[in-house]
Structure formats: structure tokens, C-alpha cells
Amino acid sequence: MAMPNPFLQETWYCDYSDPVIKGLAADLQADARDDRETAVAMFRFVRDAVRYEVGNWQRSAVETLAHASGTCTNSANLLVALLRSSGIPAGYGIMSVRGREYFGPIAPRRLSRLVGEVSKHVYACVELDGVWVRCDPSDDKALSLGTVHLNPQSRMVDWDGTRDAMLNLDPHHILDDRSPAADIDGLMAKPMRRAMRVPVRIANHYMDFLRAEGAGMRDPAEAEQRFERWLRGRHPALYLAYRALPAGAPQVEPAAS
């Protein structure tokens, strides 16, 4: 008896049998001529419909879709769920990266110092015509377009289903890269530490600010200065918490992005 393909299996977080996931997968597959076109349509949906954020990665595919936001892990997991729902083998790539550096020059110093020296970055892998292809839907289109002139890592990723399409990371910031993995539930189940809750809220406001106003910034320093004024006007309590973070704050947590 043949063993089931682990890259088509449902898991706690990759909950693709949910009617919402199955319905969306059917819609995205409707106009596709083959699995490759289906996979590309699903990639572009996830990239454009899920706003990138940090922290809060303990969400299933259904929950990520409901929030319309998520970490790199959540976006990869939603894409994998959609693909598996359509019978297309899919898995995960797991990078170990230099956490304080791989976000690029756009990361505010007060926040980047709180990231672990080594962090995890997760992307998706798809098996098409017997070949594994890597693709990374982490950065949403609005964030990419608003920050690419400030941050090389923000260049928008597009994918044609035939070759790898990855974030524009500095190779020196990648310590390890393994793929494909069939199950990352253990990684997703790890809770975020309480100490990171406020910094994560501030970081996600920063990305909303960049989506709205990043295109008008000359450089990362201006973006950081204008964000402080923006945060003070809209979220004064968070502004005080942000200003209380020392630029040389110690490592708090080796987080997944």
C-alpha cells in the first residue's frame, strides 16, 4: 500500500479542508489551464491579499485569510494550504537569517535591536512537473511599492511558476536554507513572548505607515523620523513606549519573521 504524500497532508495549521480555503482554491483554479497557472494565481493572491506583519504567527491558514495579514510563515502556510487543497504538492522552505540585519536599512534601530541575532524566515515550495520550485509571497505589493526605493530587500517578488522567486535578501544575511519541509506546525506553535507584544504592535504600525507614506521618503532616516511624528500623533502611548526603547537594547527573542 502506497504511503500518503506528506506534501499533500493536512495539519493543524495547514487546515486546507476548511470550506473557506477550499472555496477560495476553487475560485483561483477556475481560469487556470494547468497546475502551474493555478500555483501562480494562488501565489499572487496571497502576496497581494495578505499584508505583511511581524509577530502573531500562531494562526492557521483560515485565520490568516480572515485577518488578511500575517508573517512570512503565515503567508507561506496559506499558500501551501491553497495548493494542497487543489492536489498540488507543496511544502515549506526554512531559512536561518541574521535577524537584526536581513530586514535591510528600513528597519528602525530601536526595534531591530529587539530581534534575535538569528531568526527564522519561511517561504513556500511547490512541486510542478516533478521539480520543486521556491517562491516567497511574504511582502505584500503595497509594502514593496512603498519602500523599494529605500530598501533593496523590498523589491516586489513575482513568480511565473517555472523558476525560483525569492525575496531580494543579502546572501551574507542567510545562514542556512533548507527545503522542502512537509510540516512546520512545531515552529508555528511556538508562542511569542509577552515582552515583544508592544514592540510588535509598533513595528506593524510602522509598516502601515510605510504603505501609506513610504513612497514620499528620500531615505530610511527620513522614514524613521517621520514615523516617530506619525506615531506620536496617532498612538501617543505607543510613541512613549517606542522612545523608551534604547537604541542598543539587548536581544529579547529569536523570533520568526
Give pLDDT tens digits for 7-43: 999 999 999 999 999 999 999 999 999 999 999 999 9
Q: Which three cell numbers stand for residue 246?
A: 534604547
Q: Which three cell numbers stand for residue 57?
A: 504567527
User: Using CA atoms, how far apart are residues 173 and 118, in angstroms rounded to an integer?
Assistant: 10
Give pLDDT tens digits for 205-255: 999 999 999 999 999 999 999 999 999 999 999 999 999 998 753 443 334
Q: Which helix (H) or strand (E) holds 97?
A: strand 90-98
Decide: 181 and 91 in contact? Cβ < 8 Å: yes
Decide: 55 and 190 in contact? Cβ < 8 Å: no
For residue 180, is the peptide bond before it cis, meaning its omega torsion is within 30 degrees of 0?
yes
User: Using CA atoms, how far apart are residues 50 and 47, in angstroms rounded to an integer?
Assistant: 6
Q: What are phi and psi of 4, to 5 degrees?
A: -65, 145
User: Using CA atoms, how far apart are residues 214 and 46, in angstroms rounded to an integer?
Assistant: 22
Q: How do the domains of the chain map onto residue ranges? A: 6-243
User: Using CA atoms, how far apart are residues 169 and 101, in angstroms rounded to an integer?
Assistant: 10
Q: What is the pLDDT of residue 57?
A: 95
Please list the alpha-helical segments (H only) found in 126-219: 141-147, 185-189, 197-213
Q: Is pLDDT above 50 for 173? A: yes
Pairing of strands 174-181, 131-135: unpaired
Closest CA to 97 of 118, 113, 112, 114: 118
Q: Which three cell numbers stand for residue 174?
A: 542567510
Pairing of strands 51-52, 69-70: parallel
User: Using CA atoms, how far apart are residues 156 and 154, in angstroms rounded to an integer?
Assistant: 6
Our separate counts of H helices and E strands in the chain read 10, 6
Average pLDDT for 157-165: 97
Question: Residue 194's CB: how many other CB atoms inside 10 A?
Answer: 7
Pairing of strands 174-181, 118-128: unpaired
Average pLDDT of the residues of the chain? 93
Give pLDDT tens digits for 76-96: 999 999 999 999 999 999 999
Q: What are phi and psi of 153, to 5 degrees?
A: -65, -20
Cβ-based neighbours of 213, under 8 Å, separated by 6 or more: 146, 226, 230
